[in-house]
Amino acid sequence: MRNELCGVTATVEAEISRIQTLKSDEVRALWRSTFKREVPKALTRDLLVRTLCWHIQERAFGGHDRATLRILAGYAKGKPDAQKARRLKPGTEIVREYQGERHTVVVTAEGFRWRDGDYSSLTAIAQTITGTNWNGPRFFGLRMAPERAGATAARDKAASEDRPGRGSKNAREARP
């Protein structure tokens, strides 16, 4: 099986190298024969080559997993999943004060570092700090509790309706 994968990889790499050497008119002809449609006028040669190369790799090795497709669909609709979009980069410091003590966690490429110890999740750190079960992202203020998120949205909506000029029915009736 491994030899088959190496053979497929070599074939894919060779085809990608070949496509990268094609002239613009040859790339456009390859696009038409591959996708059975006209080339979008807005795409440059570089983008056409990248798309064709992705298509070859996708057919050989498979496409995106479901989670990635969901994220991409959200971006396409202009509604990225807030939790997926919020990726903490290595080096980011997360600070939480708990019972008068300040706790600083540093995001690493492998997970998180707190008090010279490495942890795979914020939840493990939160449980160590509190001695009880906690959702780590919620403990460190990266995510609201579901009931608080709904209450916050309801409170914000009610506040906007009570302000004159903010779409309140009563505010419109009171205007001269």
**Rama region for 14: left / alpha / beta (φ>0; ψ in -120 to 50; rest):** alpha
Buried b (16+ CB within 10 A) or exposed e, 157-169: eeeeeeeeeeeee
> pLDDT band for position 127 (50/70/90)?
very high
Predicted TM-score (pTM) of this structure: 0.45
Residues 61-90 have pLDDT tens digits of 998 888 788 878 877 887 655 454 457 788
Phi, psi at residue 18, to the nearest 5°? -65, -45
Mean pLDDT of all residues belonging to the chain: 79
Distance CA 7, CA 1 (A): 10
Phi, psi at residue 96, to the nearest 5°? -140, 130
Residues 82-113 have pLDDT tens digits of 454 457 788 999 999 999 999 999 998 888 99
Distance CA 146, CA 15 (A): 50
